[in-house]
Amino acid sequence: MSERRTAGARRYPRSPAEWVAGAILYALAGLSLVLLIGPSLIVIGISFTEKLYISFPPEGFTLRWYEAFLDHDQLIDSAFVSLRIAGWVTVLTLALGITSAFSLVRGRYRGRTALSAFMVSPQMLPGMVIGIAVLFFGSAFGFYQSNPMVIIAMTVFCLPFVVRIVMARLEVLDPSIEEASANLGAARTQTFFRVTLPMILPAALAAAAFAFIEAFDNLTVALFTASPRGRPLSVELYTLVQFDSSPIVAAISSLEILLALLMVFVIGRTIGLEKI
C-alpha cells in the first residue's frame, strides 16, 4: 500500500474490520436521521400542495391551506385553548418540578428513593392511561372533562420529565456551594432563592419548554380529559381528519414544527441545549 499525503491530520491506518464497523455506524446514524426528519419534511411539503386532499408528492405551491387555517375560527379558538393549557402546564410543572426535585435530592427523610421512583413513574405510563385515570378519579369527585382537567392530567404527564432533569442538575451541584451560602449568613430560604434556584433554573426552564411543547400537541391525554366544547387543537385536528382529508392539517402540523424549532432555537441561544 502506498502512503498518501493529505492536507488533513495524519491518521494511523485502519483495519478492514474497523472500516466496515465505521461504515455501518454511519449508515445507521444516517438512517435514524432520515427517519426522524423525513416525516416532518413530507408534512411540510404537503402543506404547500395545490391538490385538495392529502397526497404525496405535493403538486404546485400555494399558501391557501395556511389561509384556510387562519380563517377557520373553530381551529384558531382551539389553538388558543391549547396555548393556554400549555402555558398553565409549564408554570405548574416548573413550580412542582423544582420543589419536588429539591426535596427528593436535598431532603433527608425515610422513603426518599421510593418516593423519587414514584414521582418519575408516570413517564413509564402511556398518556392514555393517565388521561383515563384522571378522568375516573375526577368524576368520582364530581369533576368532569374540562380544560382544568386537561391541565391537571397533562401536568401529571409532563412533571416526571421536569423532575428528572432538575434532579439530575441538583445531584451534580457541589453541596458545599449551598453550605458556603449558609456560612455567609443566608438562612435556608435565602440560600434557596439566591443560590440553588439560579443554578438549577436554566435546566428547569429548558425542561419546562419541552413540557410546553408536549402539553401543546399531546393528543392521548387530552382526548380523555377535554370537554366537547372548547377543545384543544390536538383533539380538534383528530376529529377533523376523520372526515376531512384537506391539507389544512399539514399546514397546522407545519406550524407546530415551526413552534418547536423556534423553542429549540431560543433555548439553544439562551440556556444551551446541553443543559437538558
Partner 1 sequence: MHVEVDSLDKSFGPTRVLKGCSLGIDRGEVVTLLGPSGCGKTTLLRCIAGFHVPEEGRVVIGGRDMTLVPPWRRDVGMIFQSYALFPHLDVRRNVEYGLSVRRVARAERDRRVAKAIEIVSLGGLADRYPSQLSGGQQQRVAIARVLVLEPTVLLLDEPFNALDAKLRYAMQVELRKLVKNLGITTIFVTHDQSEALTLSDRVAVMRGGEIEQVAAPLGVYDTPASDYVADFIGSANAIAGEARAGRLEIAPGVGLASRVEGGAVAIVRPENLRVEPIESETDDAWCGRVGFVRALGATVEYEVEVPGRDAVKVLALRLASDDVLELGQVVRVSLRDPDACPVLPAPAR
- From candidates 194, 244, 258, 261, binder to partner 1 by CB under 8 A: 194
Residue 168 binds partner 1, judged by CB under 8 A: no
CA pair distance 252, 85, nearest whole angstrom: 18
190 binds partner 1 (CB under 8 A): yes
Among 116, 87, 82, CA closest to 221: 82
CB 47 within 8 A of CB 178: no
Q: Which is nearer to partner 1, 199 or 219 (CB)?
A: 199
- Is residue 187 a contact point for partner 1 (CB under 8 A)? yes
Segment near partner 1 (CB under 8 A); pick from 81-89, 174-182, 223-231, 261-269: 174-182
Closest to partner 1 by CB, 35 or 172:
172
Binder among 47, 116, 181, 225 for partner 1 (CB under 8 A): 181
Q: Are 162 and 97 in contact (CB under 8 A)?
A: yes
Min dist CB 201 to partner 1, Å, is: 9
User: Cα–Cα distance between 216 and 131 in angstroms, integer?
Assistant: 15
Q: Which of 15, 113, 183, 242 binds partner 1 (CB under 8 A)?
A: 183
CA 212/CA 214 separation, integer angstroms: 5
Query: Which class for 131: exposed (0-12), middle (13-18), buried (19 or more C-beta within 10 A)?
Result: buried
166 near partner 1, judged by CB under 8 A: no
Binding site for partner 1 (CB under 8 A): 174, 176-177, 179-187, 190, 194-195, 198-199
